């Protein structure tokens, strides 16, 4: 127990914990994207997968709580660190030339993160809350064919599509630093680092772009 405590109270330990939760969330994003992509080419497959995810007890009662914990942990720890870091400099510089030595997105992770948090609240209200109410409050009968239509319905609104696109742009900004940063935090800085940074850039652009494509596709063709 004291090991866990020491890790969560020390600066290096927190940074490693932050990175581990980031890895978990990045894997989750890939899984989420894969399932969503099926909606573009096969209504049946999308419904089938959604039904499985929505009814399988392992997914519902083990993976889902773990995911929620991962998300909450990443945000809470991110804010806690930001507050601590702000306190580490009481008087700010009259002139600070941050762009001379670091990227904009690396210095503004808290802002891209905050925007993503607001989006997630919105996203939960759109999909997760109705889903929970449907299944665990109203106890409606399970309908394996409802998912595709629900999603299409959601993306009718151009305003919603706009908000989603904007959120994914922020996700790209967050990942452009976050992907490679997570590897550095767990101590992986070696001969593969330069290639890994490239992979990070590709991930940071392609994954959110995939989500944007799906939102637009459903809006236009759904």
Partner 1 sequence: MNLTLKIWRQKSPKDQGKMVDYPVSDISEHMSFLEMMDVLNETLIAKGEEPVAFDHDCREGICGMCSMYINGEAHGPDRGVTTCQLHMRKFKDGDTIYIEPFRAKAFPVIKDLSVDRSSFDRIQQAGGYISVNTSGNTQDANAIPIPKDDADLAMDAATCIGCGACVATCKNSSAMLFVGAKVSQYALLPQGQVEASQRVQNMVKQMDDEGFGNCTNTGACEVECPKGISLTNIARLNREFLSAKASSKN
Q: What's the DSSP call for residue 97?
A: -
**Should residue 219 be labelled a site residue for partner 1 when binding is judged by CB under 8 A?**
no
DSSP for residue 61: I
For 192, counting Cβ atoms within 10 Å of its Cβ (0-12 exposed, 13-18 middle, 19+ buried), the class is exposed
Q: Which residue from 34, 42, 56, 102 is in contact with partner 1, where contact means CB under 8 A?
A: 102
Of residues 54, 169, 184, 217, which one binds partner 1 by CB under 8 A? 184
CB 7 within 8 A of CB 16: yes
**Residue (190 or 221) nearer to partner 1, CB:** 190
Instruction: Please report, for residues 84, 89, 169, 179, the alpha-carbon distance to residue 79 in angstroms, rounded to integers and kept in the order given.
Output: 9, 16, 21, 18
Please select the residue that binds partner 1; options are 62, 68, 76, 98, rule is CB under 8 A: 98
Determine, following the binding rule CB under 8 A, whether residue 93 of this chain makes contact with partner 1.
Answer: yes
- Give me the 11-30 binding string for partner 1, x by CB under 8 A, dash otherwise: xxxxxx--------------
Residue closest to 213 by CA, chosen among 39, 42, 25, 26: 39
Q: Minimal distance in Å, beta carbon 118 to partner 1?
A: 21
Residues making contact with partner 1 (CB under 8 A): 3, 6-7, 10-16, 81, 84-85, 87-98, 100-103, 106-107, 109, 177, 180-181, 184-190
């Amino acid at each position: 127990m004291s090991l866990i405590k020491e890790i969560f109270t020390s600066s290096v330990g927190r940074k490693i914990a932050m990175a581990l939760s980031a890895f978990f969330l990045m894997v989750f994003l890939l899984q989420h994207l894969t399932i969503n992509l099926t909606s573009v080419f096969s209504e049946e497959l999308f419904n089938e997968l959604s039904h499985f995810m929505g009814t399988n007890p392992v997914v519902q009662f083990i993976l889902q709580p773990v995911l929620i914990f991962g998300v909450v942990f990443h945000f809470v720890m991110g804010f806690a660190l930001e507050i601590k870091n702000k306190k580490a400099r009481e008087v700010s510089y009259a002139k600070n030339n941050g762009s001379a030595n670091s990227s904009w997105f690396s210095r503004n992770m808290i802002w891209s993160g905050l925007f993503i948090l607001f989006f997630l609240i919105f996203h939960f209200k759109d999909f997760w809350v109705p889903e929970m109410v449907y299944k665990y409050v109203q106890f409606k009968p399970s309908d394996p064919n409802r998912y595709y239509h629900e999603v299409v319905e959601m993306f009718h609104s151009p305003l919603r599509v706009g908000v989603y696109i904007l959120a994914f742009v922020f996700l790209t900004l967050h990942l452009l630093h976050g992907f490679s940063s997570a590897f550095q935090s767990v101590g992986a800085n070696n001969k593969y680092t330069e290639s890994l940074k490239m992979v990070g850039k590709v991930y940071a652009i392609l994954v959110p772009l995939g989500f944007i494509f799906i939102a637009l596709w459903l809006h236009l063709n759904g």
